[in-house]
Structure 1
Amino acid sequence: MNSSRKLLVASFISLFALLVAAPSFAAGFTPSAAQIEQFKRMSPEQQKALASSMGINLEDYSSLIGGDSASSAQNAEAVSGVRKKTGAKSGEQIIEQTALTGVDAPSLKEDESEESTRQKLELFGYDIFNYGADSFTPASDIPIPADYILGPGDNLVIQLYGKDNQTLNLALDREGRIQFPNIGPVNLAGLTFSQASTRIDTIVSEQMIGVKASTSMGNLRTIRVFVLGEANVPGSYVVGSLSTMTNAIFASGGITKIGSLRNIQLKRRGKVVTTLDLYDLLLQGDTSNDSRLLPGDVIFIPPIGKTVGVAGQVKRPAIYEITKEADVQGALNLAGGLLPTAYMPASRIERITDAGEKTLVNLDLTSRSGREFRIKDADVIQIHTTLDTMRDIVKLEGHVKRPGGFAWRKGIRFTDVVPSVDDMLANPDIDVGLILREEKSTRKISVHLFTPAKAFDNPNSKHNPELQSRDTILLFDYESDRSMLLEDVLAQLRTQSSFTEREKIVIAHGSVRFPGQYPISEGMTTTDLIMLAGGLTESALGNDGEITRYSIDENRQTLVMHINIDLNAQAYPLTPGDTLRVKQIPLWNDKESIVLLGEVLHPGTYPILPGESIVDVLSRAGGLTPHAYPEGAIFSREELRKLEEERLAALKNEIEADLAAEALNDGILNKSKVDSAQAEQIIANMDAIKPMGRMVIDLPQILANPKLYDFKLENGDVLTIPRFKPSVTVVGEVQYPTSHFFDKKLNPFDYIDRSGGTKENADKKRIYIVKANGSVYLPANSGWFKSKDHNIQPGDTIIVPMDTDRVDPLTLWSSVTTIMYQAALGITALTKL
């Protein structure tokens, strides 16, 4: 800890200057592995505080301590993007380019097909293979179908009963025979299970008198089949004898995205015996064509056929393989049909022409011709959504109990939407309201003023405006600023302005309740604008106003006019761009006041006029009491209080950084851990210190010579005159910090001795005094305490600072914050007298 930091610590205690000292560590420091682990265990706040105190940018070490997950994800995405750009496109990627669909804005720029934002579609049906083959393994404990054909490896369980009872477990050999005890070989090759059961029963009945047989299947054989073509893992597979085509496909890992789901072929002895359309299974749950396999069967998956994308407002947006689907309706059926939000008259097809260019074909799905429109390979059908824009409504906003939309009908008026003032919230402004109207011919916004109070009183008169479809009603109150409610309206009016049309905005300044910009309505006058701005304030002159008007002559030059008007005499018409200023009563200012506390004859809050001084206000308060101690007067000012608050926050950050660094060093060096209770107490002391905004004044000198030393007061100033207390306080590195009765014979060292003397860590060369009025005297030479100007007076505080070179940051800040906390308590106690 260097000497500049020592001086700063002393300043913190005495003046609450709260300037942050120099960093504790060099910025070029490289953390070790142990330090990194210790740093990771800290909270984010501690990490930031420690890094700031050490002059370290955390981003420089993000690779060591673990960067932000979002940043890592972005980096990974960027790398992935580079790979996608540099890598060659696979067949799967080429097919998926038909998914560049959605409700996009067609670009008229050449060679910019990727400019529009598009919704990516996935190929339909392929995600079923993500669940793995285990989920689709055929069950082996189900009843055997009667048409199941026996083959080598199948096991039969034959139970004999009657004259002879026994159970036989016989397997078919390579020739398809079973070796039946006492009967001999029985040929069952090529028979169904039902036929084999009948044959065994017949043979047993004929050759074993008095014995009958009951046959069931035991363990089933396995068969070898081939899955070839566009399978994820083509090859030869051993499957159960009850397996079907889908079981074998799943065993091979499924179908690649360039393989067909709708033309899967089952070949037997070189001929196609059946085809499987997986769409029947996925869309209808139909397994009738999922044929059972025989040994040596080949399942061949050809490349995908024609595809059509269906995007937008359908139940299953995706890319579909088409076979017999020839028109738009067939493709929509594959996508599950339209959603209720689909807008059928404005659909379209994005198509690749024979010339290799993209084009659009408009569709009206409400017509038969639109639904039966022929589709081609790589078409993308786009179904738009209905617009969010609502028709035949009126909208209510602002200071009302039930804002929102209301159904519009011909002849509806304002009071049909807001029947009475009871439907408005408390403290409403019923003198003015706005109706925002969209002109049908231009779709521009116009503004219309009305008076809700007159509408409530005369619902059948012109004062109750008739509403049009899509009108918006704005109602106000007398408390909320209207700028936020009108922000969107003003922005739209600015957008509507042009070379030939000025912004339809006027400005109200001066003594109105809500100064600012407002939309101008047709025929608006100064009276209307004042009402729209919330009315006049109590400071308004009432009849004196000024309009500043900017106009443009035929040579496109600006002309400025200032028009003085009598607000009581007439309602002056306004034009777009006018600024109305309502003048204020001369010498009117917001009421300012100061507070006098303590030993004055009449303490309290005193209104002040510009230019009043301390002596003026003390005279109005009757002067000081006989018990007053003006030498210890405490004067605080609001702007200083705010500055002190900022510096206290800076000091708190400094303390937290030092405590975090101390905790880190202790963990790395295996020292005893930092006392967490002591650290918490340090932070608690800092939180308890409230900014005072104290400014040092010499009140006795001001009262004795006001012409030289008196000064003007400001709004919010506080002057506290304490009662005379013949005491001197000693704080800091002494054995027993306390207050002592004042004795003019004693010097500062005498008071320190009466407090038990200094501690081991005391810095005796920098002992200083904080005078009762807040001024501080720092040591200048060895004869400091002998100066008459620096003699100890009642109310003074002697501070014995700590030798910062001999202690760690925890001990230092513990001492500093304790002194500051005790000083703050003392000042607070004085202000409450």
Structure 2
Amino acid sequence: MQSRFLFVLFIMLSLTALAQSPVDIENVTDAQVEQFLKEAEERGLTEQEIEAAARLNGYSAQEIAMIRERIERLKSGENTLNKETVSDGKREQLGEVAKRTDLQVDDKTEVGKKTEIYGRSIFRNQNLTFEPNLRLPTPPNYTLGPDDELMIDITGYAFQHYDVKVSPEGTIQLESLSPFQVSGLTIEQAKVKIKDRLKLLFGGLRNNSLGLDVTLGDVRSIQVNILGEIEKPGTYTLSAFSTPLNALYLSGGPTVNGSFRTIKVLRQNQLVQEVDLYQLLNSGQYTNLLLKDGDVIFVPVAERKVELEGEVKRAMIYELKAEESLADAIQYAGNFSEQAYTNSVKITRYTGKEKKLVTLGEEQFDDFLLKNGDHIFIGAVLDRVENQVEVLGAVFRPGTYALEEELKTVGDLIKIAEGLKEDAFKTRVILRRENDHLDTEIITLNLMNSTDWEIPLKREDILIIKSYSELREVRSVEIKGAIVEPGEYEFQENMSVNDLIFMAGGLADGAEKGNIEIARRVKEGDLSSKNVEIIPFDTSDDLISMELTLRPFDQVYVREIANYEEQQIVKIVGQVKYPGEYVIQNRGETIADLVSRAGGLLKGAYVEGAKFYKEEKLVALDLKNVLSSANKIGNLVLQEGDSLFIPKKMDYVFVKGQVLNPTIVAYDPAFEFKDYIAQAGGYTDSAYVRKAYVRYANGLTDRTRSFLGIKDRPETARGMEIVVPTRTKYRWTAAERIAVSSAMVSIATIMVTIVRIL
């Protein structure tokens, strides 16, 4: 302590020597102190020498005492920032506060059984919390209380930080100073009081050479009672930053009978605020009253609720105050919709005995006071236009137009629609109009008469003008046969047969140009005449031959040249000299002809196993018989896509189905049917022996035959398949067995009875 005091006095003297006048000790920085401490140690000056020199240089005893005070703080290390003890500035909530629980809300009310109450939705919105923000500056109206934490900072040539908590008695204590009261004060009021106390320790606070900052640290919690028409009444622990809105949200908001307009906040049995939630809902404004420990929030029963239905933007149930009118209710509902009929609003009111209907005009809305339970209905305007006329059909701009000074007659309507189209059917025009009884009537006009253009129009008139094309069947012509793009084409005036052939892409290859027919409708009522007229026609490749003008609905048929057809391909593969694809030469070419064109069979060809396919399906065929005599049945005429496969000799036999060992057995000319079955291990218990059959390699099949118990099995051949099918045994169900047994017993009983009678 003594050495540090000497050092600081030495600093003062050094600075005084340079400035030629006493230096204000409060302006000496810590960095300067550290710089001259080393110099004082090196010179070895005593305390008495430095203090005497300070007096000689004009320093008073009070200033020397201030130096001693500063040295004391430097000695304890309080002039540097201690990161372990100084708060990071983040405000936290002390203790646990209440959390909102999900509500099962029933919207049924006494006014409208399923109508939403205006304002209740905000208390069910999961995206809203209304939790107080602890990161905002301390509200100016926040008053301190027990458990609040204060962060006090002294800044300037010296630094000091205090974290203090308000005691249950509402006091705080700093250093060795006596406790003093801060509970009930705002932050600014507490700052003034704290500064007055710290002036005893920090002289720089007296002349403002040191700065003082007081902020609220961690926030205490408070308890608030929420009563009345509330979803979850009770006592809630809240943040001291909470407002009545926070408390209402946590408790689920008012019930269906609760008031949204006159929610009372009571403090020590005195009304401190009346909350009107409509102020928040309609303008976003809200009086931000901070709750205090022990406050009571009371939600009374709503005294006046009305229901708005129909053409308003928010059809809901609304709560009104005593002085509010129908106009206020409509304003709360977001005003009228675009289709609202405002000249007459219907109000259904309960009189205590029965219902009463009140009808109001728009000029009465401001003065008419509603009663509890009133039902207001706003209707929509009529779904019609008061001055609309319409023109349809053969005009350039069909549509609806306003009936006004410039548009009064049929001629005016046609003129404003840019006039008639060229194909308009003028001799008969329909004017459709509603008469006095709203029945639709037809007025027939002839636009060839100038007087019909001057017929006056009425509201909702519709003028219908048809075109010539609309009054006749759609006209077309059709071309078929040997043509590139056959089909139906739109009829055009002066279209000839050659024109139609040209439009259809021209004649196809193989077309018979000298054998074209036109089939034409006959429009004569004579029953003895022909129904259709057939007209022959010749053309040429250049389509410049004779011309024949077509009529609507004519059909043109272009025949093909006799015996003309595109190349058709068949295929032969396997054991022939020249396998491959062949084009059918004539309409009568057969299988035998195909084998001959392929050079005949090779040595080793198994002709009995030849397979013939038509449309990719196997056709059972005995090629050996076909080739032995071309006139025999089976020598089929070839068609596009046919194929013939002639294999090599097949030295095996397949045994399949219900045998013990389905297998492939080497062909043995000495084997009979039963020998191959034996090679497969014999029949299984499920074998249908009588139905066993064979499938030969060429697709032919043969079955087992029996006569008087003697079975005649099919002959064996190379490549064949022996198939033994499964025998399905019918098994009676339990119900069938019982039924048959009962029937037998009944029959036996009847027989016994008959015998006894006889």
TM bucket normalised to smaller: 0.5 to 0.7
CA contact (8 A) 2:307 2:316 kept: yes
Aligned CA distance change for structure 1 residues 247 and 781 (closer, same or farther; 3 Å): same
> What do residues 501-544 of structure 1 show as CA deviations (whole Å, max 9, x unaligned)?
xxxxxxxxxxx769xxxxxxxxxxxxxxxxxxxxxxx9xxxxxx
Structure 1 residue identity aligned to 2:465? L
Post-superposition shift, 1:180?
A: 0.7
SS at match of 1:333: helix
C-alpha deviations, 1:99-148, integer Å up to 9, x for none?
47xxxxxxxxxxxxxxxxxxx74211112223448642222233334443
Match in the other structure for 1:750 = 595
Q: For 1:346 and 1:233, how far apart are their aligned partners in 2?
A: 42
CA positional deviation for 1:91:
9.2
**Structure 1 residues 725 and 351, CA gap change in structure 2 (3 angstroms):** closer
CA distance, structure 2, for counterparts of residue 763 and residue 790 of structure 1: 15
Residue-by-residue CA offset, 1:762-806 (whole Å, 9 max, x unaligned): 996775699xxxxx998799967854798666977745699xxx9
Greater radius of gyration (CA): 2
TM-score w.r.t. the length of structure 1 is 0.49
Mapping of residues 332-343 of structure 1, within 5 Å: 332-343=330-341
Q: Once the 2 structures are TM-superposed, how far is the Cα of residue 227 of structure 1 from its aligned partner?
A: 3.1
CA RMSD of aligned residues (A): 4.8
User: 5+ unaligned residues in a row in structure 2: which ranges?
Assistant: 1-103, 475-492, 494-506, 523-527, 540-553, 647-655, 657-758
Letter in 1 for 2:583: S
Q: Which amino acid aligns with 1:750?
A: V
Give 1:392's aligned residue: 387
Residue among 359, 364, 380 paired with 2:360: 364
Q: Deviations 1:123-178 (Å, cap 9, x if unpaired)?
A: 11112223448642222233334443211122222233578542222221111111
Task: Map 1:348-497 onto structure 2 (within 5 A).
Answer: 348-355=346-353, 359=355, 361-368=357-364, 372-409=367-404, 412-419=408-415, 423-425=419-421, 427-439=423-435, 441-452=436-447, 454=448, 458=450, 461-480=451-470
SS at match of 2:124: helix
Could you tell me which runs of 5 or more consecutive residues in structure 1 were left unpaired when the two chains were aligned: 1-89, 101-119, 482-511, 515-537, 539-594, 623-713, 771-775, 807-833
Inter-CA distance 599–301: structure 2 relative to 1 (3 Å threshold): closer
Q: What residue in structure 1 maps to residue 132 of structure 2?
A: 138
Q: Distance in 2 between matches of 1:420 and 1:154?
A: 81
Counterpart code for 1:266: V
Question: Would you say 1:720 and 2:720 are equivalent positions?
Answer: no
Match of 1:201 in 2: 195
Alignment pair present for 1:175 and 2:174:
no
Aligned with 1:196: secondary structure?
A: helix
Q: Note if contact 1:726-1:741 (Cα within 8 Å) is conserved in structure 2.
A: no
Task: Specify the code of the residue in structure 2 equivalent to 1:435.
Answer: L
Q: Which has the higher helix share?
A: 1
CA distance in 2, matches of 1:336, 1:768: 80
Amino acid aligned to 2:560: T
Structure 2 counterparts to residues 256-267 of structure 1, below 5 A: 256-267=255-266
Deviation of 1:435 after TM superposition, in Å, equals: 0.9
Summarize the alignment of residues 742-821 of structure 1 with structure 2, pairs less than 5 Å apart.
747=592, 750=595, 767=613, 786-787=630-631, 798=642
| Distance in 1 separating the partners of 2:535 and 2:395 | 50
In 2, distance between residues paired with 1:170 and 1:777?
104
Query: How has the CA–CA distance of structure 1 residues 609 and 471 changed in structure 2, closer, same or farther, with 3 Å as cutoff?
Result: closer
- The one-letter amino acid paired with 1:604 is I
How far is 1:315 from its partner? Answer: 3.4
Distance 1:93 1:763, change over 3 A: farther
Amino acid aligned to 2:426: I
Q: CA deviation at 1:255?
A: 3.9
Deviations 1:41-73 (A, max 9, x none): xxxxxxxxxxxxxxxxxxxxxxxxxxxxxxxxx
- Please identify, of 379-388 and 314-323, the stretch whose mean Cα deviation from structure 2 is larger: 314-323
AA of the residue aligned to 2:462: T
What secondary structure does 1:136 align onto? coil
Tell me, in whole angstroms, the C-alpha distance in 2 between the residues paired with 1:92 and 1:744.
Answer: 89
- Cα contact 1:730–1:751 (8 A) shared by 2: no
Cα 1:135–1:419 change in 2 (3 A) is: same
Distance 1:137 1:755 in 2: 101
Question: How far apart, in 1, do the equivalents of 2:417 and 2:294 lie?
Answer: 88
CA distance in 2, matches of 1:338, 1:203: 64
What pairs up with 1:125-274 in 2 under 5 angstroms? 125-132=119-126, 135-160=129-154, 165-206=159-200, 208-212=202-206, 214-219=212-217, 220-269=219-268, 272-274=271-273
Distance 1:420 1:278 in 2: 56
CA distance in 2, matches of 1:445, 1:216: 86
CA deviation profile, 1:535-588 (whole Å, cap 9, x unmatched): xxx9xxxxxxxxxxxxxxxxxxxxxxxxxxxxxxxxxxxxxxxxxxxxxxxxxx
Offset of residue 293 of structure 1: 0.5
Residue matched to 1:281: 280
User: C-alpha separation between the residues in 1 aligned to 2:426 and 2:202?
Assistant: 111
Q: Structure 2 CA distance, aligned partners of 1:619 and 1:777?
A: 46
- Amino acid of the residue matched to residue 406 of structure 1? Y
Give, in whole Å, the separation in 1 of the partners of 2:600 and 2:467: 64
Amino acid at match of 1:245: P
CA distance in 2, matches of 1:736, 1:801: 11
Amino acid at match of 2:133: A
SS in 2 for 1:159: strand
Q: Match of 1:250, SS?
A: helix
Q: CA shift at 1:417, angstroms?
A: 1.7
**1:737/1:755 contact within 8 Å kept:** no
Does structure 1 conserve the Cα–Cα contact (< 8 Å) formed by 2:112 and 2:317?
yes
Separation in structure 1 between the aligned mates of residue 455 and residue 589 of structure 2, nearest angstrom = 86
Map of 2:297 onto structure 1: 299
Distance in 2 separating the partners of 1:201 and 1:755: 128
C-alpha distance in 2 between matches for 1:224 and 1:729: 100
Task: Give per-residue Cα distances to partners, 1:603-633, cap 9 Å, x unaligned.
Answer: 43433689999xx9899879xxxxxxxxxxx
Whether the 8 Å contact between 1:768 and 1:779 is mirrored in structure 2 is no
**Distance (Å, rounded) in 1 between the aligned partners of 2:318 and 2:340:** 19
Partner Cα distance (1:420, 1:193) in 2 = 78
- Deviation, 1:394, is 1.9
Q: Aligned equivalents of 2:153 and 2:618: distance in 1?
A: 116
Per-residue CA distance 1:385-410 (angstroms, 9 max, x = gap):
22231112321122222222222246
Cα displacement (A) at 1:207: 5.8
Aligned pairs, number:
476
Q: CA deviation at 1:295?
A: 1.1
- Post-superposition Cα deviations, 1:327-365, rounded to whole Å, max 9, x if no partner, equal 42332232233345322233212344534x6x4614132
Amino acid at match of 1:414: V
Supply the distance in 2 between the matched residues of 1:791 and 1:609 (Cα, whole angstroms): 48
Q: Please tell me whether residue 607 in structure 1 is matched to residue 519 in structure 2.
A: yes
- The alpha-carbon deviation at position 382 of structure 1 amounts to 0.7
Q: Do the aligned residues in 2 keep the contact of 1:433 with 1:474 (CA within 8 Å)?
A: yes
Q: Is the 8 A contact 1:133 1:250 kept in 2?
A: no
2:158 and 2:639 map into 1 onto residues whose CA distance is 124
Contact 2:170 2:183 in 1 (8 A): yes
Q: Cα distance, 1:303 vs. partner?
A: 4.3
- TM-score, with length taken from structure 2: 0.53
Matches within 5 A, 1:615-764: 719-723=559-563, 729-730=569-570, 736-741=580-585, 747=592, 750=595
Please tell me whether the aligned partners of residues 730 and 752 of structure 1 are also in contact (alpha carbons under 8 angstroms): no
CA distance in 2, matches of 1:733, 1:161: 109
Aligned with 1:197: secondary structure?
Answer: helix
Q: CA deviation at 1:720?
A: 2.8
C-alpha deviation, 1:741, in angstroms: 4.5
